Chains A and B, each alone.
Chain A
């Protein structure tokens, strides 16, 4: 079946530190992969996505590369800011399962000045 596993949180970093949040997946067929971000008191928003192997999604300084060989889609940012404090969700969508979305458990990030 389809599933997403992401690293446990919470993660606490100092401003300007390098961020990596690991995400691996199990899927039938060729899924599309997503990172969503949830700020306090809000719904989830799309951060970036990649629809095929070796694609790199990027937005707001964040990036993630679709690695089919390692079934991974790790989120990275070179220099985090306080405003990046949020919960980050990795997700996949596969046409083999009716385009249903599968989300990871979320990783909470706190950036301190």
Chain B
């Protein structure tokens, strides 16, 4: 299997611009997670989907962040407008959504907002 695929791998954008990060989960997986990783705050869960439905979005920082999962094979995380403090690595992970099952991470999207 191809694994979790994220795009773009690297993005540099100016403050105020809209950023869209994309994720294709592993085929057949029904749970999907978006995480953010920074040196200061470590690994933070932003949002968790199960069967395309958001289950927990309490980690989404503020209204500037939004996430969608229109179907089982695609999800987006959007930041509008972006700010320098949003600079981080954003990871998508997917799994089978049952207790004991592993989740698999993509290679991350490295975002720099200048």
Contacts and interface: CB of A to CB of B under 8 A. Distances in A.
6 contacts: A32-B101, A42-B108, A93-B103, A94-B99, A98-B56, A101-B103
Interface size class of A (residues with CB under 8 A): 20 to 34
A37 B43 CA distance: 13
Interface in B38-92: 42-43, 45, 48, 50, 55-56, 91
A98 B50 contact: yes
Nearest to A101: B103
A100 interface: yes
A106 B33 CA distance: 18
A101 B43 contact: no
A43 interface: yes
A105 B43 CA distance: 7
A99 B99 CA distance: 6
A82 interface: no
Interface of B: 4, 31, 33, 42-43, 45, 48, 50, 55-56, 91, 93, 95, 97-108
Secondary structure at the B interface, as helix, strand, loop or mixed, is strand
Nearest to B55: A98
Contact of A106 (B31, B43, B56): B43
Interface in A73-113: 89, 93-95, 98-103, 105-106
B91 A43 contact: yes
B43 A89 contact: yes
Contacts of A45: 105
A100 B48 contact: yes
A44 B102 contact: no
B107 A42 contact: yes
Given A44-B93, A51-B99, A101-B33, 14 more contacts: A31-B99, A32-B99, A32-B101, A43-B91, A43-B106, A43-B107, A46-B102, A49-B102, A93-B99, A93-B100, A93-B103, A95-B99, A101-B93, A101-B95
